[in-house]
Structure 1
Amino acid sequence: MDHKTKKQLTETDIITKFLLPAIEQAGWDSMLQIRQEVKLRDGKVIVRGQMGVRKTVKSADIVLYHKPNMPLAVIEAKANKHEIGKGMQQGLNYARLLDVPFVFASNGDGFIFHDKTTSPGEPIETEIALEDFPSPDQLWAKYRAFKGYSDAQLPTITQDYYDDGSGKSPRYYQLQAINKTVEAVSNGDDRILLVMATGTGKTYTAFQMIWRLWKAKQKKRILFLADRNILVDQTRINDFQPFGQAMTKITGRNVDPAYEIHLALYQALTGPDESQKAYKQVSPDFFDLIVIDECHRGSAAEDSAWREILTYFSSATQIGMTATPKETEEVSNIDYFGKPVYTYSLKEGIEDGFLAPYKVVRVDIDVDLQGWRPEKGQVDKQGEAIPDRIYNQKDFDRTLVIDERTDLVAQTISAYLQRTDPMAKTIVFCNDIDHAERMRRALINHNPEQVQKNDKYVMKITGDDDQGKAQLDNFINPKKAYPVIATTSELMTTGVDAKTCKLVVLDQNIQSMTKFKQIIGRGTRIDDRYNKLWFTILDFKKATELFADETFDGPPEQIMTTDPGTIIDTDNPDFDDELAGNPTDSDGDKPGGAGVDQGTGTGGGVITDEWPDDEHSEHIKYRVAGVTVRKVAERVQYYDTDGKLITESFKDYTRNTIKKQFATMDDFIKKWQSSDRKQAIIDELEQHGVIWEALEEDVSRELDPFDLICHVAFDQPPLTRKERADNVKKRNYFGQYSEAAQSVLNALLDKYADSGVTEIESKEVLKVTPFDQMGRPLEIVKKAFGSPKEYEQAISDLEQVLYDDKHSA
C-alpha cells in the first residue's frame, strides 16, 4: 500500500489491516487473548435540575490478556495521518485502570512500546517495528518477573474466574480488587482489607475471589460471615449460587463438616452463653479462609462477637470487606487487618459512572436555627412540665417533639415528590421509631390522593413492626410500585439494596461518618432499566455538612491512638434502638423478623449515641403543638467534579461550562457557523453537562440552543425560533429556488420555529407531516433539489441565513 493511500485509512482500518495481523503473527490467540473495544467505564452521570445525562466514554482499542480476565497490555491505535505515538497518553490512562505495565501506541507504521518493567537507566518508551511485536510468552515472562511471582504462586495467580457464559465479567476495579487479594493470599498474607463503596458489587467480588482460591485448592474450607440475615440469603441465592452443593448456610447452631463453603450469620455461631458458641463444634483450624462482609460493624472491637470468632479461627486467612472502614481513637480495622490492598471510593464510582451522583436540597427551618423555649410553667400534651431551656435542632424528635415541625417536614417532602415524581422510591430517616410513626402519619395526610389509590403508599419499616418489615422486599423490588415512601430509623441504614431509591430524606441527627456513608449508600445504585441515574438528598438536619469533611471520601487512615478498654462504639448498628434487648432464635433472626436481622448487641460493652426506644427506657420525650414553624431557606447543591457540593444555578453552571469551551462569543459563533451539523455542537456541550431540557425549563422553551448559549453565556438579547424564522421569510430568501424547493424549505422553516435546528437536520423529517403528502423522501429531494447533495447544501444555506443577524455582525 502506498504512503498516500495509507494516510487516508481510518483508525478502524489501521487496526484491521496492520495491528491485528502483527499481534496474531506474534502468537496471540485471537479468541482468548485479544479483546477489542474494551469499555472500562460506564460514563459519569451529570445532574442539573431534574435531568441527568451520561457522558460518553471511549473504549480501549485492544487489550491483551494472559488468560481471560488477566490483562497484560493495552494497545491504542490512531489513523495513519497522526504521529505514531499519539495514542500513548490515552493508553496509559487505560493501563492505570487495568493495572497493567505494558502500553503500545500505533498509527500502523510500527509501535511505541511503553514498558513499566524496565530497569533503571533503560528507556521506558521505545519504537518497534510491526513484525517485532512481543509474543505472549515474552510479555508474560516480563510481567511475572516484574510482579515477583514464585513458581508456587502461579497455580493460584493464574486460576480462571468463574464464567457462566453470559458474557458478564468483573469491572476493572473489581478485577483489581480480586487480583490484588488473590495475589496477597498466594503470597502468604493472612489479614487482608478491601474497601469498596456501597453499590460497587462487594459480594460479586467476594464470590470471584473465593471461587479462584477454592478452585486452585489454595483454600478448601471457607466461611463467609455477615451480620444481617438478608445479606446471607441474598449472597447464597444470587452471587454464590455457582457453588451449588458444596455450599451451606449454617443454621440451628450446627456446623456441618460435609460442606466446603459455609455462609453464616455471626449470631448463629455465637452468643453470650457457652452453649451458643457453635463455632467451637469444630477445631480452630477447620476453616482456612474467612471473608467478613461489612467488617466495619464490629470486627475491629476486641470484645465484639466478630472478634471472638476471628480469634478462635486465627490460623485462617481473614479478608475484611467494607464500604466504611472503622477508624476511631478506640477502634481500628486497619490495626487488625492492615492497610487496604485496594480501595475503590464513592467518588471514583461516580466519576466512572458506576454509581449515582446526588444533588442535595438543604432545608433550614426557623426553630432549628433559632431554637425554641417553653413559656414559664408550660406543660406538654401529656401534661408534663417542660424543663425551661432552649431546645435546638439536636433536641427535636429526641427530647422534644413539635408537631408543626413534623408536619412541615412531611409537607416539604410531599411537595418535592408531587412536583418531580410522586412514585419515586423514598426513604425518610427519622431519629427513632416514635418519630418514624409520626412522620408516616403526617406523610399520609399530605398525600391523600396517592394513599386513596393504595394505602401502602407510605409505610413505616422499622424493627418493631412486622407489617412494615413484611413490605421491605416490595420496597426494594423495582417491579413493585408500592410502598413508595418508607419511614425508618435504623433498619434500612444497611443491607437494603434499594436500587431505584431516588430520594433520601435526612431528618435524623447523624454524627457518625460511618453511619452517614451507609445512609447515603441507599441511593448510590444505578439502574438504567428504571431510569435511576441519580438521586436527591433532602436534608433537614445539616447532615450533608459531613460531605465537606475530608474523611468522607478520602483514603482510610489509621488514627487509633489508645489501647481499647470499654468500647464506645457510636457507629455500631448492631446495637439497634429498634431492637435492643430482643433475644435471637436459633437462626440468629429476631422473632417475627421476616428474615431481616439487625443484630443483638452481643458484642458487650457497647454504648450507642442513639436514644433507646421508649419501651426500653425511662427517657421522657416532651410533645408540644401550636408552635409557628416556618421554612426560612431552601437551596440546591450539586455534586461537582472534585467530589464537593457546590451551590450553583443551572444558568451559572451553563455559563461557566460554555466559557471553558469558547473564550469569546465570536469563538462560539465561528464554530457554530462553520459546523456542518449544529447537532454535533449540541451533543458535544451536552457531554459537558449542558442539559438542554433543563436549560429550556430554566430560561425559555422558545429559544434555539444558539440563542440560549448567546443569552446565558454572553448576555446577548435572544431571538425566539419564531422570530428567526420570520426574519428569513421577510428577506424573500427562497426566491432563488424552484417552486417545489420553496414549498419544502418553507415547511422546514416552520418545523424549525416549532422544534429547533435539530429537527431540520434530522433525516427523518421528510417522513412526517406535511412532507409525507409530497411523496417519499428521495422523491421530494430529487424533484425539489435534484440530488441529496444539493438538498444538504440547501439545508446548510438555510442555517447560515437563520443565524445571519446582529449576533454574527
Structure 2
Amino acid sequence: MDKKALTERDICTKFITPALKQAGWNIQSQVREEFPVTNGRIIVRGRMHTRARPRRADYVLHYKKNLPIAIIEAKDNKHSLGDGMQQALSYSDALDAPFVFSSNGDGFLFHDRTGLFGQTETTLSLSEFPDPDTLWDLYCQHKGISPKARETVEQPYYDDGSGRTPRYYQTVAINRTIEAVAKGQDRILLVMATGTGKTFTAFQIIWRLWKSKQKKRILFLADRNILVDQTKNNDFKPFGQAMTKVTNRTADPSYEVYLSLYQAVTGSEEDQNIYKQFSPDFFDLVVIDECHRGSAAVDSAWRQILEYFSSATHIGLTATPKETKEVSNIDYFGDPVYTYSLKQGIEDGFLAPYKVVRVDLDKDLQGWRPSKGQTDKYGKPIDDRIYNQKDFDKTLILEKRTLTVAATITEFLESTDPYQKTIVFCEDIDHAERMRQALVNLNPKRVKENRKYVMRITGDEAEGKAELDNFINPEERYPVIATTSKLMTTGVDAQTCKLIVLDQRIQSPTEFKQIIGRGTRINDDYNKHWFTILDFKKATEMFADPRFDGDPVKVYEPKPGDPINPDDETTDPDTEEPSGGCGEESGDYDVDPDSDWTYDDPDWIIGGPGEGGDTGGRTRYVVDNVDVEVVAQRVQYLGPDGKLITESLKDYTRKQVKEQYATLDEFLRRWQEADRKQAIIEELAEHGVFWEDLIKDVGNKLGDEPDPFDVICHIVYDQPALTRKERARQVRKQDYFAKYQGASRDVLDALLDKYTDAGIEPIEDVKVLSLAPFTHIGSPMELIQAFGSKSDYQQAVKALEDELYQQSS
C-alpha cells in the first residue's frame, strides 16, 4: 500500500481510528469525528446570505459524553507528523481540551498543555497513544479535581434524544462552572452574549449538580415574569414535578427546584418578604439571571435575598456585567469563569452580524438656538441658549425632528421589507408615543391593513404591553414596529427583529450591549440571519469603546481627597437618571409580582398649554415650527475582524483585496487559473468584500450591473469597468460559437444569456441545465452528451469563461 497516495480520510480510517481503539477508547461513546466547533460566520450579500466554512475538528475525545479532553488533527501522509498541530491547538483553545495530537498516519505528535506528561511535545508511535484513564487522571490533576469531586464533574448533561446538545462554548461554560462548584467555589460569574443560550446553559449546570446530588435545593431568580415563565416552560421543563414557581402567598418546602421573581418574594412590609419563610440554609444553590440588574447594588432591597441565602453557592448569569462606582458584579462574584462575547458569537456563526446606517440631522450637528423672545407651542418663553442632541426629546422637543426620524425609518422599511420586525428605542414614554403617532401617519396603507402595524410597547400601558408576546412571536406578523423606551431593552427574545432604531442617547456600554442584543438572534425558519442598526443619536460610536465587547474591567475607585467628576455624583451611567432615584437598580418597588414590570423614565408627562411643561424639576419646551433635515447618511459594515469598518467601503475593499493579490497581474493570474471563478468571489467575501453594495455602486455609474471581476479591477486596480452585457457582446463579436453545432451551440448561447442576466455563478453549476431555457433544448443528460461527456462539457464552459475575460489579460 502506497501511504502517500491515501487521502486524509483514508489515513483516519486505516491508521488513527484503529490506534484509538487499540488504546482503549470507545469509538461510539468517547470519540467524535468531524466534530462541529462553529457554524461558519454569516456573510451577507444584499438580501441573501451565505456562510463561511464551519470549523470542524477531525477528532475530539471525550472521557464522558460532556467532557472533551483531547483533540486530534489529521493530515494525509504527504504532510509531516506535526503539520496539523497549530490547527489542533486552536481547537484546543476553543474547547478547553488540554491534550493535543497531530497525525499523518505514521504516529502522533503529542502536545501536553498541562505540563504533567513530561516535555511539552513528544513523538508517539501509533501503539503508544494514551488510554482514556491516563489522560483523565492527568486532566483532573491539572484542574485540581479531587476524587470526591469527580462524581460531580463526571455527571453527564441532560439529553432528551432530540439531538440538541450544548454548543462548544456552552460546554466550556458548563464544565468550568461544574468544576468550580465541585472544588468549593461559592460565587461564580458567567458572561455570555445575548442570544447564546444562557438559560439552556444554566439548566445543564443545575441538572448536573442536582442529579449528582451536589446541590439538592435550587433557587432561580429573575426580575421579569416573562423570563421566569419562558424558563419554566422551555429549558427547565425536564425538572417536571420537582420544580415550582414561587408566588407571593406562602413558601412550599416540598419542591427541589424553585423559580421566582424578586418581586414575588419581597415587599416593603416584613410580611411580604416570603423568602424568609424558608430557613437561611434551605437553598444550597442560587442562580441569578441578568445579575447586572436588580440585586447588583449593595443597598438594593433585592440584594437582601442573596444575603439571606448567603450560605448557598451563587451563580450569576449576564451578557453585560456591571462595573460602576456603585455596582460591581466582579466584587460580588469574582472574575468570570468564562466569557463568550458578541464578537466571538458572530465570528463563529451563532449570532447574527449587523450593519450600521448612521443618520445625521442638521439640528443634531449644528444645535438650535431660539430667536429672541421665542415661545414654545404652549406659549412658554424658551430659555436663550444653544440646544443640542443631549437636549432633544428631553428638555426640548422639536416636533419636526420626530417626523424626520419617522420618515427615514419608513423610507428604509419600504426600500427593504416593510414587514420586518422593528424596535424603535426612544428617550422616554412620551417620545415613544410621539414616534408611534408619526409612524402611524406616515404608513396609512399598512395601518389600514392592521391597526397594530405600529404599537407603543412601554411599561405604563396595558394595551401595548399585551402585544409584546405577539411582537416576539415569529409566527405573528403584527405588530411590525414597536416604539419603546426601556421595556424592550433586555430580556425580550425577539428572534426575528431585523431593524433596531436608536433615537435614544445611550451612554452606558451595558445598556447599549443589551439593546444590540435584541437583534443578534438567528432564526433559519424565518430567514433572520442579520440585522440593521439605524442610528440617529451616534450611539453606535459605543462600538469603538473597548468596554463594549471586552472582558469586564473593575472601575477605578476614588480615594478620599481625589478630584471627583461632578457627573459621577448625579448620574447613574446605566440609567442616565439621578443615582438613588427610582431607577431599575434600587429594587424598592410595590409592584404586582405577576406583572412584566420594568422601569421607564418617569419624566414623560408634558404639561398642556399654559402648564409650562414642568417635569420632575426640568422644564421641557415643545417647538412645532422648526424644520429638521437629514444632512448625511452613511452605511458602516461589520468587518471579518468583528469591528465596524470606519473608512469608505472602496478604501476598505482595496486594502482587503491587496492583502490577497498585491498586483493586478497576481489577481488576473489567479482568476484565469481558477477552475471556478465563483470560488474566488466567495473567498473574497469571507475576507470582507461586500459584493452587493459594491456592484450596486459601480453599476450605478455604468448604467447596468458589472461583473464582480470588473468591480475588483475598477475599485482596487483603477481599471475601466465593463458590464456583463458588454462582456457577452464581445464574445459574440468574436464568433466564438462557430466551432459548435446543434444542441451544444444552443447550450453555450443560452449560458451566455444566463451570464448576462445573473452573473458567473449559475453557469458554473451543471444544475443550470435542469432549468429553463435549457429544458426546452433537451434533458440535462442529452445536453451533456451533445458535448461528448461531462468532462467535455466542463471544458467548454471553462473555454467560454476564458473568452469572457480574455480582453482583460
TM-score, normalising length from structure 1? 0.92
| Contact 1:330 1:567 (C-alpha < 8 Å) held by counterparts | no
Aligned equivalents of 2:771, 2:746: Cα separation in 1:
15
> Structure 1 residues 362 and 205, CA, compared in 2 at 3 Å: closer, same or farther?
same
> Structure 1 residues 439 and 582, CA, compared in 2 at 3 Å: closer, same or farther?
farther
The Cα offsets for residues 322-364 of structure 1, whole Å up to 9 and x where unpaired, read as: 1111111222121111111111122221221212222222222
Aligned equivalents of 2:329, 2:154: Cα separation in 1:
30
CA displacement at 1:71 relative to structure 2: 0.4
Question: What's 1:752 paired with?
Answer: 755
| Contact 1:433 1:578 (C-alpha < 8 Å) held by counterparts | no
Aligned equivalents of 2:745, 2:588: Cα separation in 1:
83
> Structure 1 residues 494 and 774, CA, compared in 2 at 3 Å: closer, same or farther?
closer
| Contact 1:577 1:612 (C-alpha < 8 Å) held by counterparts | no
Question: What's 2:797 paired with?
Answer: 795
> Structure 1 residues 15 and 102, CA, compared in 2 at 3 Å: closer, same or farther?
same
Q: 2:439 aligns with which of 433, 440, 443?
A: 443
Q: 1:421 aligns with which of 412, 417, 420?
A: 417
The Cα offsets for residues 602-624 of structure 1, whole Å up to 9 and x where unpaired, read as: xxxxxx98746569846442211
Aligned equivalents of 2:179, 2:585: Cα separation in 1:
42
The Cα offsets for residues 163-203 of structure 1, whole Å up to 9 and x where unpaired, read as: 11111111111111111111111111111111111111111
Tell me the SS of whatever aligns to 1:153.
helix
Answer yes or no: is 1:299 the counterpart of 2:295.
yes
Bigger mean CA offset, 235-244 vs 293-302? 293-302
Q: 1:453 aligns with which of 438, 449, 456?
A: 449
Aligned equivalents of 2:204, 2:687: Cα separation in 1:
36
CA displacement at 1:720 relative to structure 2: 2.9
CA displacement at 1:560 relative to structure 2: 5.5
> Structure 1 residues 614 and 87, CA, compared in 2 at 3 Å: closer, same or farther?
same
The Cα offsets for residues 616-662 of structure 1, whole Å up to 9 and x where unpaired, read as: 84644221111122222222222234443223444444333222211
CA displacement at 1:533 relative to structure 2: 1.7
Tell me the SS of whatever aligns to 2:83.
coil
Q: 1:61 aligns with which of 50, 58, 61?
A: 58
Aligned equivalents of 1:332, 1:580: Cα separation in 2:
16
Aligned equivalents of 1:722, 1:568: Cα separation in 2:
61
Question: What's 2:112 paired with?
Answer: 115
Aligned equivalents of 1:276, 1:769: Cα separation in 2:
72
> Structure 1 residues 727 and 383, CA, compared in 2 at 3 Å: closer, same or farther?
closer
Tell me the SS of whatever aligns to 1:152.
helix
Question: What's 1:156 paired with?
Answer: 152
Question: What's 2:246 paired with?
Answer: 250
* 1:12-411 → structure 2 map (5 Å cutoff): 12-47=9-44, 52-119=49-116, 122-411=118-407
Bigger mean CA offset, 574-583 vs 80-89? 574-583
Aligned equivalents of 1:506, 1:702: Cα separation in 2:
33
The Cα offsets for residues 564-592 of structure 1, whole Å up to 9 and x where unpaired, read as: 9999645369945999997323xx13xxx
Aligned equivalents of 1:751, 1:112: Cα separation in 2:
51
The Cα offsets for residues 130-188 of structure 1, whole Å up to 9 and x where unpaired, read as: 12221111211221222221111111111110111111111111111111111111111
Tell me the SS of whatever aligns to 1:765.
helix
Aligned equivalents of 1:257, 1:446: Cα separation in 2:
56
> Structure 1 residues 624 and 161, CA, compared in 2 at 3 Å: closer, same or farther?
same
CA displacement at 1:770 relative to structure 2: 4.4
Answer yes or no: is 1:720 the counterpart of 2:717.
no
Tell me the SS of whatever aligns to 1:57.
coil
| Contact 1:48 1:650 (C-alpha < 8 Å) held by counterparts | no
CA displacement at 1:486 relative to structure 2: 0.5
Tell me the SS of whatever aligns to 2:685.
helix
Question: What's 1:597 paired with?
Answer: 597
Aligned residues: 787
Given residue 367 of structure 1, which amino acid in structure 2 is its aligned partner? Answer: K
Answer yes or no: is 1:761 the counterpart of 2:780.
no
Bigger mean CA offset, 137-146 vs 95-104? 137-146
Tell me the SS of whatever aligns to 1:552.
coil
Q: 1:514 aligns with which of 510, 514, 517?
A: 510
> Structure 1 residues 396 and 775, CA, compared in 2 at 3 Å: closer, same or farther?
closer
Aligned equivalents of 2:513, 2:582: Cα separation in 1:
18
CA displacement at 1:765 relative to structure 2: 3.1
CA displacement at 1:771 relative to structure 2: 3.6
Answer yes or no: is 1:472 the counterpart of 2:468.
yes
* 1:361-760 → structure 2 map (5 Å cutoff): 361-559=357-555, 561=557, 569-571=572-574, 575=582, 583-585=590-592, 588-589=593-594, 595-598=595-598, 611=603, 617=616, 619-700=618-699, 701-738=704-741, 741-760=744-763
| Contact 2:301 2:587 (C-alpha < 8 Å) held by counterparts | no
> Structure 1 residues 466 and 126, CA, compared in 2 at 3 Å: closer, same or farther?
same
Given residue 725 of structure 1, which amino acid in structure 2 is its aligned partner? Answer: A
Given residue 375 of structure 1, which amino acid in structure 2 is its aligned partner? Answer: S
| Contact 1:51 1:691 (C-alpha < 8 Å) held by counterparts | no
| Contact 2:377 2:623 (C-alpha < 8 Å) held by counterparts | yes
Tell me the SS of whatever aligns to 2:431.
helix
Given residue 114 of structure 2, which amino acid in structure 1 is its aligned partner? Answer: T
| Contact 2:360 2:631 (C-alpha < 8 Å) held by counterparts | yes
Aligned equivalents of 2:683, 2:721: Cα separation in 1:
22
Given residue 163 of structure 1, which amino acid in structure 2 is its aligned partner? Answer: D
Answer yes or no: is 1:775 the counterpart of 2:778.
yes
Tell me the SS of whatever aligns to 1:503.
strand
> Structure 1 residues 283 and 614, CA, compared in 2 at 3 Å: closer, same or farther?
farther
Bigger mean CA offset, 373-382 vs 414-423? 373-382
Aligned equivalents of 1:468, 1:238: Cα separation in 2:
25
Given residue 428 of structure 2, which amino acid in structure 1 is its aligned partner? Answer: D
Tell me the SS of whatever aligns to 2:28.
coil
Bigger mean CA offset, 431-440 vs 567-576? 567-576
Given residue 656 of structure 1, which amino acid in structure 2 is its aligned partner? Answer: K
| Contact 1:330 1:563 (C-alpha < 8 Å) held by counterparts | no
CA displacement at 1:49 relative to structure 2: 5.6
Tell me the SS of whatever aligns to 2:357.
strand
Segments of structure 1 that go 5 or more residues without pairing to the other structure are: 590-594, 600-607
Aligned equivalents of 1:769, 1:349: Cα separation in 2:
41
| Contact 1:570 1:609 (C-alpha < 8 Å) held by counterparts | no
Bigger mean CA offset, 565-574 vs 205-214? 565-574
Tell me the SS of whatever aligns to 2:402.
helix
Given residue 188 of structure 2, which amino acid in structure 1 is its aligned partner? Answer: I
Tell me the SS of whatever aligns to 2:221.
strand
Tell me the SS of whatever aligns to 2:147.
coil
CA displacement at 1:460 relative to structure 2: 0.4
Aligned equivalents of 1:581, 1:306: Cα separation in 2:
8
Aligned equivalents of 1:533, 1:559: Cα separation in 2:
35
Tell me the SS of whatever aligns to 1:646.
coil
| Contact 1:504 1:537 (C-alpha < 8 Å) held by counterparts | yes
